[in-house]
Amino acid sequence: MSLKRVRIDAQVAYGGFGTPVEHGSAVVQDAAGSRRVLFIGDRDEAAARWPDADVKTGVFAVSPPPVNAHVHLDLSRMPPYRGPYAGFIRAVVAHQRSGERGLPAAQDGLTALAKTGASVVGDVVTDEAVMFELLAREDLTGVAYWEVFAPDPAEADATFDATVERLRRFKAAERPGGMRVGLTPHTPHTVSAPLLSKLARFAAANELPLQIHVAESPDETELHQSGGGALRELMGPMLDHWTPTGMSPVAYLGELGVLDARPSLVHAVQVDEEDVRLIARAGASVVHCPRSNTALDCGRFPIELYARHGVDVAFGTDSLGSSPSLDVQAEVHAALAVHGARANAGALVRAAVKGGYRVLGLTPPRLTRGSDAAGLTVWPQPAGVSGG
C-alpha cells in the first residue's frame, strides 16, 4: 500500500485539548484515499518519528476549526465605519432605517462566513426570517441569539411576554446538531433593569445561552458613572428613564443577577480587576473582538487580566460594519499585534478553538491519532511574517 506522509511545521500545534505546543507539528498520512492525522505535538518528536515525511512550512497554527463566537450577519451590507463608538451606534441606526438590515444581508454574511471555512458561530439576530434561516441550515452549528432592545421599564412586562412567545416558536424549529436558540439583551443601558433581570432568570431556568454586549467603550462607563456623555446625548429620549448606577457596567449586571445566568460578555474591554473577579466567580465568559475594538476606539481588551483569573475567552469578528472580514484567524493575528508580549500565540489559538466552543455551550473537537484530517485547520502565517 502506498503511503504519503506530510509533516506540517507550525508556530502553534493544538489538538483541541491540553496545552498548545509552540513550534510544533502535525503529521498527516494519505493511504488509499483516506487522510488521517498521525500526530500533533512536539516538532522534534515528529521529525524523529517520521524522518522521511514531506515538510510543509510557513504555517501559523494547526488545530481543529476556530469558532466565530460573536457576529452580526444581518449587518453585512453596512458600510464600514471607523471612528468613535457613539458614532458607530448612530451609523447602525441609520443603516437599519435604510432597510438594508435583514435576511438578504444575513445571507451575504453567510456567504462571507463560508469563505473563511467557519461553520460554528454565535450570531446576534434581530429579524425572525434570519432566525428561521439559521435554524434550518445544515452547514452550521452554534447559537442564534435573539436580540432584545427595550430601555423603558414601563415596557418590561410586555416585552418579556413577547420575547418568551418568540423564543418558544424559535425553539420548536431547532434541529439536532444544528443551531440552538439563545438570547441577547442588547446592552445594560438599552434594556431596562427589570427586563434584564427577568430575561436572565428565564434564560437560566430554560438553559438558554445568554450573550450581552457590555463594557465596550469608555462612553458606557461614563453613562453609568455620571449619566452623561456621548451615549446619553446620542440616545436622547430613549434614556429618559436612565439613572446613573454609580458602578461599573459589569458590577451592574452582577447587582441585577444577570451574571448568575453565566452569560458570555461581548467586548468587556473597560473593566478593572474587581469586574474580572465578578465574571470569574460567576463562571461567565468573554468574547474578544480586537479589530472592532480598534476600529471604534474602545481601548485594549485586558487579556492578561482575564488569563490571571481563569476566565474563558473566545474570539468573534463582530459585524462587517466594524471589522474588515468575518475571518477569526485574522482576528487572532490582530490580537497578537495588539497584545504583544501580554499574550502568547498558543493561548490565543486555544481561545479561538476551545474557548469558542465552550462559550457557545459545545464540546470542543479533539484531534488524536487516527482522526480524519478533514478536521484539521491549517492557519497561514499573517502577511509579512515568516517562520513556524
Residue 229: inside a domain, yes or no?
A: yes
Q: Kindly state whether residue 387 falls inside one of the protein's structural domains.
A: no
Domain that holds residue 56: 3-64+367-380
Q: Would 385 be classed as within a structural domain?
A: no
In a domain, 291, yes or no: yes
Please indicate, yes or no, whether residues 352 and 373 belong to a single structural domain of this protein.
no
Quote the CA–CA distance of 191 and 46 in Å, as a whole number.
Answer: 53
Question: Do 8 and 47 sit in the same domain of this protein?
Answer: yes
The confidence score (pLDDT) of residue 58 equals 95
Residue 386 forms part of a structural domain: no
Position 388 in a domain:
no
Are 201 and 324 members of one domain? yes
Q: Answer whether 59's CB lies under 8 Å from 81's CB.
A: no
Catalytic residue among 147, 216, 220, 331: 216
Q: Are 21 and 42 in contact (CB under 8 A)?
A: yes
Based on the fold, state whether residues 10 and 145 are members of the same structural domain: no
Question: Would you say residue 252 lies in a domain?
Answer: yes
Distance from first CA to last CA of the chain, Å, rounded?
Answer: 32
Neighbours of 157 (CB within 10 A): 12
Give me the residue label for grid cell 460554528: 120
- Best CA proximity match to 15, nearest among 29, 3, 26: 26
Tens place of pLDDT for every residue, the chain, 388 residues? 567 999 999 999 999 999 999 999 999 999 877 999 999 999 999 999 999 999 999 999 999 999 999 999 999 999 999 999 999 999 999 999 999 999 999 999 999 999 999 999 999 999 999 999 999 999 999 999 999 999 999 999 999 999 999 999 999 999 999 999 999 999 999 999 999 999 999 999 999 999 999 999 999 999 999 999 999 998 888 888 888 999 999 999 999 999 999 999 999 999 999 999 999 999 999 999 999 999 999 999 999 999 999 999 999 999 999 999 999 999 999 999 999 999 999 999 999 999 999 999 999 999 999 999 999 999 999 865 444 5
Residue 141 belongs to a domain: yes
User: What is the per-residue pLDDT for 388?
Assistant: 54
Specify whether 202 is located in the same domain as 161.
yes
Under 8 Å between Cβ of 126 and 110: no
Give yes or no: 133 in active site: no
Indicate if 324 and 296 belong to the same structural domain. yes
In this structure, the answer to whether residues 51 and 96 fall within a common structural domain is no
CATH label of the domain that carries residue 28:
2.30.40.10
At 203, which CATH number?
A: 3.20.20.140
- Compute the distance between CA of residue 143 and CA of residue 286 in angstroms, rounded to an integer: 15
Look up the pTM and report it.
0.96
Which residue, 304, 387, 383, 385, is CA-closest to 338? 304
CB 91 within 8 A of CB 78: yes
Question: Can you tell me which residue has the cell 482576528?
Answer: 331
Cell numbers of 309, please?
A: 483569573
**Do 48 and 166 fall into the same domain?**
no
Q: How, if at all, do strands 54-63 and 3-13 pair?
A: parallel
Total domain count for the chain?
Answer: 2
Pull the grid cell for residue 274: 474587581
pLDDT of residue 25: 98
Q: Which DSSP state fits 154?
A: G
Same domain for 113 and 44: no
Q: Are residues 282 and 170 in the same domain?
A: yes
Alpha-carbon dihedral sign for residues 48, 50, 53, 56: negative
Task: Report the alpha-carbon distance of residue 244 to residue 229 in Å, rounded.
Answer: 11
Same domain for 93 and 59: no
The secondary structure of the chain in percent helix, strand, coil, rounded to multiples of 5, reads 40, 25, 35
Do 98 and 37 share a structural domain?
Answer: no
